[in-house]
Each structure stands twice: as structure tokens, then as C-alpha cells.
């Protein structure tokens, strides 16, 4: 699952996925739209339910900061693949 929130200037993107060992990974990217300013953090969740709880917490936080949800898709959709491409670019910066 991929979820993205935005304001006029900033974004936050969360990706919940399983790695090749079956562990659940909660990845969070953030930054300024149109720039290379931002960051990327990966967290290992004990269960899918824990990762989903973190996602709910993130949604509450971003909503309170004035962010609006602009994307919520599965990884395998074209929109999800494009979001993953953008996320992977952050890994090399």
C-alpha cells in the first residue's frame, strides 16, 4: 500500500510492504515538492497490523498539519509503480 499527502509545498509518502524475508516494512519519505530536500526512513514492523496502526497515526498527524491525502493505491497498480519509482530515487540521493 502506498499513501501520499501534500500541502502546496510539501509531501509525505508512506509505503507498507513485505521484504523478501516476509518482514513488514514501513517506509516514510518526506520533502519539498519540486526539490531534492527531504528524507527517507524505513522501520521494521512486528506485524502488518502494527504497520497499519503506524499508517493511521501518520494520517492523523498529517491531517492535523494541514496535509491532504492525494493518493492511496496498491503497489502493483500503475499509480503505485510510479510512486515507487519516485521513492526509489530518494534511496540514491
- Residue 8 sits in a domain whose CATH number is 2.20.140
Residues in a beta bridge with 5: 12, 69
* Mean pLDDT along residues 78-83: 82
What total number of domains does the chain contain?
1
Of 88, 78, 47, whose CA–CA distance to 55 is shortest?
A: 47
Of 49, 2, 43, 52, whose CA–CA distance to 25 is shortest?
A: 43
The DSSP line for 45-62 is ESSHHHHHHHHHHHHHHH
pTM: 0.84
Separation CA 75–CA 61 (nearest Å):
23
**Residue 60 scores a pLDDT above 70:** yes
Domain that holds residue 30: 2-91
- Encode pLDDT of 23-57 as tens digits: 999 999 999 988 888 999 999 999 999 999 999 99
Amino acid at each position: 500500500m502506498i499513501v501520499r499527502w501534500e500541502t502546496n509545498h510539501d509531501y509525505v509518502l508512506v509505503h507498507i510492504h513485505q521484504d523478501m524475508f516476509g518482514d513488514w516494512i514501513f517506509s516514510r519519505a518526506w520533502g519539498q515538492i519540486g526539490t531534492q530536500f527531504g528524507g527517507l526512513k524505513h522501520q521494521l514492523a512486528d506485524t502488518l497490523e502494527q504497520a497499519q496502526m503506524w499508517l493511521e497515526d501518520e494520517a492523523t498527524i498529517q491531517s492535523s498539519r494541514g496535509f491532504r491525502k492525494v493518493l492511496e493505491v496498491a503497489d502493483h497498480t500503475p499509480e503505485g509503480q510510479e510512486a515507487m519509482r519516485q521513492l526509489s530515487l530518494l534511496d540514491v540521493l
